[in-house]
Structure 1
Amino acid sequence: MIMKLSKLPLLTLLLLIACSESVTDSGNAELPRELTKTEKAIVQADRSFSIKMFKELAVGSDEENVFISPLSISMALGMTLNGANGQTFDEMQSTLELHGLSLPEINEGYSSLKELLTDLDPKVQMEIGNSIWSSQGFQIEEDFSSNLTNYFDAESSELDFNDPESVNIINNWVQKKTHGKINEIIESIPSGMIMYLINAVYFKGDWVYEFDPEKTTERNFYKEDGQVKKVDMMTQKLPAKFYSDESIQMIDLPYGNGLFTMSLIKPTSDSTPIDSLIETDLSLENLEKWYGENEKDTVDIFLPKLELSYEKSLNQPLENMGMPIAFTNQADFSNINRNGGLTISEVKHKTYLKLDEEGTEAAAVTSVGIGTTSVGPSNPVFNFNRSYVMILREKESGTILFIGKVGNPEN
């Protein structure tokens, strides 16, 4: 088959998220202001996209651990959306659950949400940075460039992509913005590539109620394949919000002043596979029910220390979720460059998570590349000694930063 038009390698968009530790104190903080209608729509879209993407990756996967940042993915694709047109735009907008919102509303929503999240908790360090790296001489449409600068506060630089040092410059920016949690996102720049967009988010927060390292002991973790692993199990007695019914058990562990929390969810029955919980029970409606009907009491918790990494190409999942045309030679990204001939070559997602007695460290990178078309006790007990789901969120707005399943804390 003869291709009349070979789409040019244009852009790889990278979004990074990192979380680490901070100071602690309990509290019942609230958002400093009411969310605007557009912000609420963006948050709702993020939550819907989070659950949809997580189910696409987790259910039926052979991977024991799945850990993603839906906010990272959606913001990366949200930036890319500014370059899309026609059916390409419509499919991406629908996949991101941004139904009924105009591009200015989408951009304004991301901008104000970014500002809100980074200024939300003085006891939690949260930073969001964006950048545009373009090949010398490549002409970017003014509206595309100005939208990313004005709404995403993106830094802009031109580099000689034929010079190997350009890789180091980009990776150094990544390392700086993630405080060393992610050191490399680009190994080399393919021939013909002319742009990288990068978004980095850094979160640093300790538990409100830290675990005592002296109480961490080696205990069994029961994998779903029948293996029993010895893991370092943290434990403590603490006041916590929790929900429990015949299907699931959920507990919230707060950071900082309490606005950012980690929700840990497991099947009530030890015989229920974690994928069954994810596929059947995990939904926005159920999350709202669980959070709305939770109670607070002193509980005993057993939680494994863990450190894991995860990497996934998101091309096929995103196609399955409703945006196939963006990966074909029919894609229309003429709002990046009016000559067109551009397509997404790869959406790559890479994450890191560390959870210990002090708090949580996590990092995520999303790369969207546009290139050629060829590419018992008296207290309630929450014992997470089997596979479980985790959700790191800002509880007042409901923004989901990270979501994952853990089937092997040692991996």
Structure 2
Amino acid sequence: MDLHLLSLLLFCVCRQGLTNDEVLNDSPIPLIPLMPSHPKEESGNSAPSTQEPSKTGHPSAATVPPLLVPTSGSNGDSSEEDNQKQDEGCRAQARRPKSRKALAYAIQKLGMKMLGQMKTGPEQPNVIISPLSISLILSQLALGALNETEELLMRHLHANTLPCYHMSIQNFLERLRKSDLQVATRIYLQKGFEPKPEFVNQSQYLYDSEPVTFKGVAEVNEWVEKATNGKVSDFLTSLPPNLLLMLINAVHFKGEWKARFDPRFTSKDVFYIDDKHLVNVDMMMGPKYPLSLLIDADLDAQVAWFPFKNHMSMLVVMPMNGQVNISDLATKLNISDLYDRLPEERSMQVKLPKFKLDYSQELCEALTNIGMGELFTSPNLAAIAEGPLLVSSVQHKSSMEITEEGAEAAAATTVVISRSNPSFSLNQPFFFALMDDKTQAPIFLGVITNPNPGAPAVQSSGGSGGDKNDKHFDKSFGEPPK
């Protein structure tokens, strides 16, 4: 079985009140091709030569004083020795399990808020976002924010429990890049625009986000396609005319189940969209699949854990009533608690729909709805550059594909013997989270309402439900206590 997940997030910063002829001498707006990881930069891809050079040169752990804590109130008179001590202290704190768990919880909180703001429709009935991608872009923007704007960003990032927040993010990214997850970031600068060197250096040091000059939309789309293994093409069609700076990141995951699904058992089956409608889907089936499954009384849902290789997993929450209520989940979901209560794997019949979904959304409205509207009207981004700047566009695109392809893990053959042969079928709407098991941080969050939106939905013969619930929930696990 093969799982592909990816996310792209584009953050555009513009000058307020700038006329078109003040932006560029060249038209159209150029962009630069991005390359994941650490590409060898050619001379033509360096930051604009008109930019004031940084006093520290190229950033490194030894030369860049890291912004490890919120910058408001920081003392610029610190000696190099003090900065080094602060750096070492924050590095040690960022590696602590407590800090990693706090960061994971912060990413989850923001992710659930954003998931609740996502819009669906006939063309996009399912939702998938990357809270990691969104957290990274807002955290990087916080490096360029001052006073109330910085406090606003750090509050919504839930960074109050992490005094070394930016270093915790850096440590987290270093860990993820050693797994099957790929994270690529870039800063694109308009020709002639000169951001403050400290913001550029800190972005590169903490977020591995190198500055490059715009060359063209087509080149950005080419990088996007390459960085996502061809899963996303034509990401950009246009950009704001007064664009000065663009932050972008790409998150890509490709994983294999520890226990694969045999494609010979895949067949057409029904998925209940709601009490009155169903759709035919390609349903994968494991007749004796090792699965950790529990019924959670607070969530009134079945919770299943599907592990991948290399310390990643997919956590699935399927409500008993067949409807996913994100606002309810956001208040009740405690992923760490679910991890602690997951039982031993048990051999059972498991059904999981095959699906491929794409989801894209402009996030300005969603960020405004959760209380971050100041970013789009009158933010203080003076740590990026002098003069009035504002965020003009936040574009997010994610996709997910599940098939039976992939390698079989050697340790996936353990079978738990029991007198009954229980079953678990994901044949109604469910919430899922792609997790980093070591930190329990959600990398992707989503809701599957219809795995096959291209197929016509038909009337369910069960009317208001009828026998449907007996199909969904195996009684050997018991009903949740009332």
Same fold (TM over 0.5): yes
Give the C-alpha shift of residue 7 in structure 1. 6.0
Identify the residue that residue 294 of structure 1 maps to in structure 2.
342
Paired letter, 2:312? F
1:75-96 alpha-carbon deviations (Å, 9 max, x no partner): 1111111111221111111112
Identify the residue that residue 263 of structure 1 maps to in structure 2.
315
Identity of aligned residues (%): 29
CA distance in 1, matches of 2:341, 2:162: 31
Distance 1:227 1:261, change over 3 A: same
Identify the residue that residue 45 of structure 1 maps to in structure 2.
106
Contact 1:43 1:399 in 2 (8 A): yes
- Pairwise CA RMSD of aligned residues? 2.9
CA distance in 1, matches of 2:146, 2:117: 26
Select between 190-199 and 66-75 the one with higher mean Cα deviation. 190-199
Match of 1:319 among 347, 368, 374: 368
Paired letter, 1:333? L
Match of 2:353 among 292, 304, 315: 304
Give the C-alpha shift of residue 286 in structure 1. 3.5
Identify the residue that residue 153 of structure 2 maps to in structure 1.
92
Distance 1:263 1:136, change over 3 A: same
Contact 1:8 1:342 in 2 (8 A): no
CA distance in 2, matches of 1:224, 1:381: 21
Identify the residue that residue 385 of structure 2 maps to in structure 1.
337
Q: Is residue 6 from structure 1 mapped to residue 55 from structure 2 by the alignment?
A: no
Q: Is residue 139 from structure 1 mapped to residue 188 from structure 2 by the alignment?
A: no
Identify the residue that residue 251 of structure 1 maps to in structure 2.
304
Contact 2:34 2:186 in 1 (8 A): no
Give the C-alpha shift of residue 107 in structure 1. 2.1
Q: Give SS of 2:160's match.
A: coil
CA distance in 2, matches of 1:113, 1:15: 22
Distance 1:8 1:244, change over 3 A: farther
Identify the residue that residue 428 of structure 2 maps to in structure 1.
386
Q: Any residues of structure 2 matched to 1:36-185 within 5 Å, and which?
A: 37-57=98-118, 64-99=125-160, 101=162, 105-119=164-178, 121=179, 125-160=180-215, 166-185=216-235
Select between 62-71 and 246-255 the one with higher mean Cα deviation. 62-71
Paired letter, 2:108? R
Gaps of 5+ in 1: 18-32, 161-165, 361-376
Select between 91-100 and 131-140 the one with higher mean Cα deviation. 91-100
Paired letter, 1:226? K
1:253-273 alpha-carbon deviations (Å, 9 max, x no partner): 11114x1001111013xx442
Contact 1:250 1:264 in 2 (8 A): yes
CA distance in 2, matches of 1:318, 1:331: 14
Q: Give SS of 1:389's match.
A: strand
Distance 1:36 1:253, change over 3 A: closer
CA distance in 2, matches of 1:288, 1:40: 9
Contact 1:243 1:290 in 2 (8 A): no
Contact 1:51 1:283 in 2 (8 A): no
Contact 2:101 2:440 in 1 (8 A): no
Give the C-alpha shift of residue 39 in structure 1. 3.6
Give the C-alpha shift of residue 191 in structure 1. 2.1
Distance 1:16 1:348, change over 3 A: farther
Paired letter, 1:206? E
Contact 1:88 1:332 in 2 (8 A): yes
Paired letter, 1:155? E
Paired letter, 2:318? K
1:294-329 alpha-carbon deviations (Å, 9 max, x no partner): 11211221111001111112212212212121111x
Q: Is residue 401 from structure 1 mapped to residue 456 from structure 2 by the alignment?
A: no
CA distance in 2, matches of 1:336, 1:8: 20
Contact 1:327 1:344 in 2 (8 A): yes
CA distance in 2, matches of 1:320, 1:148: 27
CA distance in 1, matches of 2:116, 2:130: 13
Q: Any residues of structure 2 matched to 1:270-281 within 5 Å, and which?
A: 271-275=321-325, 278-281=326-329
Contact 1:15 1:200 in 2 (8 A): no
Give the C-alpha shift of residue 36 in structure 1. 5.3
Contact 1:16 1:72 in 2 (8 A): no
CA distance in 1, matches of 2:365, 2:354: 32
Q: Give SS of 1:188's match.
A: coil
Q: Any residues of structure 2 matched to 1:364-379 within 5 Å, and which?
A: 378-379=420-421
Q: Give SS of 1:301's match.
A: strand
Distance 1:233 1:145, change over 3 A: same
1:129-175 alpha-carbon deviations (Å, 9 max, x no partner): 11122111110111110011111111321235xxxxx1122222222
Paired letter, 2:436? E
CA distance in 1, matches of 2:108, 2:406: 23
Distance 1:47 1:16, change over 3 A: farther
Give the C-alpha shift of residue 347 in structure 1. 1.6
CA distance in 2, matches of 1:98, 1:345: 24
Scaled by the length of structure 2, what TM-score is found?
A: 0.68
Q: Is residue 213 from structure 1 mapped to residue 213 from structure 2 by the alignment?
A: no
Paired letter, 1:320? N
Gaps of 5+ in 2: 1-15, 24-28, 37-93, 408-418, 454-482
Q: Is residue 197 from structure 1 mapped to residue 247 from structure 2 by the alignment?
A: yes
Give the C-alpha shift of residue 16 in structure 1. 12
Give the C-alpha shift of residue 15 in structure 1. 11
